[in-house]
Amino acid sequence: MADSSSSSSIDKGGAFPHVLRIYFIPFPSPGHIIPMVDIAKLFAERGADATVVLTPLNVTRFSGTVTRAAAAGNRIYLYVLPFPSTAGLPDGCESTDALPSRSLSGPFARALDLLRDSFDSVIRDHRPDAIVSDVFLPWTSAAAAELGVPRYAFTGTGCFALSVERSLQVNRPQGWASSDSDPRLVPGLPDRVYLTRSRLAEATLPGSTAHEILDRLREADRSTAAWVVNTFPELEPGYLEHYERVTGKRVFAVGPVSLCNRAAADASERGRGAAAAGEAARILTWLDSKQAGSVIYVCFGSLSRFPAAQMKEIGMGLEESRVPFLWVFGETAATAEETAELDEWMEGMEGRVGERGMVVRGWAPQLAALGHEAVGGFMTHCGWGAVAEAAAAGVPALTWPLFADQFYNEALVVGVVGTGVAVGAAEGFVWGEEEKAGVVVGKARIAARVAWLMGRAASGGSGREEAEGIRRRAREMGEMARRAVAPGGSSYLAVGRMMEDIGPRNGQSAAAGSRDGDLGN
């Protein structure tokens, strides 16, 4: 670990007093760390001194992109915070995707709480001008308040889902229809949004064990200076302003942050580091052999698991669709016997589809894949990072939400902005109990929706026009995303305005931290 005055980008947290110094601390999960590192890069590009606080395992995943950003002349660093040992948590479990079982969620949460003392020391010793903390680390609020350092909260999701969640907190689901399939209006939103009980986040439902942590988050939010959101106005029309009104706090919409990864290495290694370069090259070479817009990319995120029977239905649906596909085959919620049977079936399926399909086990360079001209559709779980990345790439979505805020994000993509179509999942899975769900969507439905979205369906007329309309709106969304992050765009200006907001809170001139002098006035 080197001092910040050296050329190394891994740092003990030294200061550059003539610029704004911002510390970023993400929740240790891929869907949170990845965009937070991107946000730190955005602020560093504008002249801020940006330090990302990570544990050792996560440093190995992001040191490459931070080193490249520093080599380009940006003041960006990694502060290595030791991960605490706690009973019941194996070594190396420093991220949610490294947990071998959901049963370890409790020890993992306790370990995160133990990070507070170390983090307090970092902030006390280095006195940054602000911290940007994940909302799921509520103890950062107390540390910041005690030391008079403003805390900006990174939400991890979009303003639409946040608005839905807030409405549900006020209008408790106990009063909703007892039937899981009876749609009910979510009150108080700019649009008429209907959800069924089966589509509500697990934490919202009566009897959830998450109410205690939700209360801690709400308490921490009271001292939050403002929200930092990976979004842009066109992706969530009206919801940035709505969330500002209902919370009384500003929203700095700085996304889609994935577009800051302009270097090929940053896009292909994002979230995994240089160790993934070989696999990324293999996948991109396969995509190079496909026609423009012909491939559907299928990925359900780092935390999703399907029962073996549902995985087989996905494979059969992709095979029967006749559409070229890139399928990121994740973990299964299955017994050893079920897994062995599925693996044997998968080998046969891969042999039958040949070069038309590619099955990738574990991880794929999602940002690079979505940006490849061969990819014309994205079957996704609707995690917010995936939604924002699809929007940035101008790729239409085939939505298949599983849990948490994902059904809310589907309602935005399908019902509000019209850049996707639902695969037809009427209910999700309980994380950690996926094996109980069985088959939610059958192969025939999967094949039909894939072919329809990709323009391969036999039907014509209005159906063909509707699919083309979705693809066109997705392309338009991608153009709006690129304009948002370009100089003078809404997200570019939001970064400058947040720097302006930080400066006076610490009695400093924000203009000193602007590389180009444009802070968005």
**Dihedral over Cα of 469, 482, 385, 320: its sign:** positive
Structure tokens at 103: 């049963």
How far apart are the C-alpha atoms of 484 and 462, rounded to whole Å?
32
How many Cα atoms within 13 Å fall on the side-chain side of residue 436? 7
Strands (E) in 341-491, as ranges, are 357-361, 375-380, 397-399, 420-422
Structure tokens at 208: 């959830």
215 is catalytic: no
Residue whose entry in the numeric block shows the structure tokens 């990709």:
454
49 is catalytic: no
Structure tokens at 86: 């706690």
Q: Residue 328, by phi and psi: left (phi above 0), alpha (psi -120 to 50) or beta? A: beta
Terminus-to-terminus CA distance in the chain, angstroms? 39
From the candidates 11, 32, 242, 372, which is the catalytic residue?
32
Contacts of 420 (CB under 8 A, 6+ apart): 390, 396, 397, 398, 399, 410, 413, 414, 470, 474
* Amino acid (1-letter code) at residue 30: P
How far apart are the C-alpha atoms of 70 and 9, rounded to whole Å?
6
Structure tokens at 423: 């695969």
| Burial of residue 499, with CB atoms counted within 10 A of its CB: 0-12 exposed, 13-18 middle, 19 or more buried | buried
From the candidates 11, 134, 405, 501, which is the catalytic residue?
134
- The catalytic residues are 32, 134
